[in-house]
Structure 1
């Protein structure tokens, strides 16, 4: 069944699945959004948690957020991840950082941590798996 779900999430399939990339570094955000789009998903971009929350409120098709921990604004990416888990429980969460290693007990339930530097292809593979689950 997991293989069938993965195949459904191929380039031709995930039109209804959208991914929100939350990253304050524009070049990193643009590269990740490009990788997500190349994988066949719709990509939304936010530079901080406040912007991310506004986008989530407007786009119910978002199925996963990919957030950096360190960014400006009212909360960091880890706090955003917990906020999203509480307000939008079905949304999957991937957290990333190159400065901090996050313990699993500090993450929201079901969230995944990806350490920077990462390969965009590695992240899109995790996105496919999590959205298909």
Structure 2
């Protein structure tokens, strides 16, 4: 079962998407900011995908987190989301999904990555 790390500061959205991803067959971990996400990635070797919002509190937003994931954990897949405009640049091989999104669209996007089926 692939493991997804959901990084979202809005607890309601984080809980909802995490529950729906778990129902779709993923093991889900969730955190509220990028620094917590880095700590999880450093502690665990089983993260297959990071699903991150862009706008979060703290000194690191979702774009910086995605760049750090790409640099430090290249095999980890990345999906970036926001309710604002699509960022001008995102890390190589990352996907962008705008908010509001349907979780089934997120699941479909996740399943396009190798080892996420």
TM-score under structure 2 normalisation?
A: 0.94
Counterpart Cα distance in 2 of 1:29 and 1:108: 22
Gap runs ≥5 in structure 2: none
The two structures, once aligned, show a CA RMSD in angstroms of 1.1
Matches within 5 A, 1:1-133: 15=1, 17-103=2-88, 106-132=89-115
Task: Give 4+ residue runs of structure 1 displaced > 4 Å after superposition.
Answer: none
Matches of 1:19 and 1:57 in 2, distance apart? 15
- Deviation for aligned residue 1:115: 0.5
SS of the equivalent of 1:109 reads coil
1:127 CA displacement:
1.1
* TM-score using structure 1 length: 0.83
Structure whose alpha-carbon radius of gyration is higher: 1
Higher helix share: 1
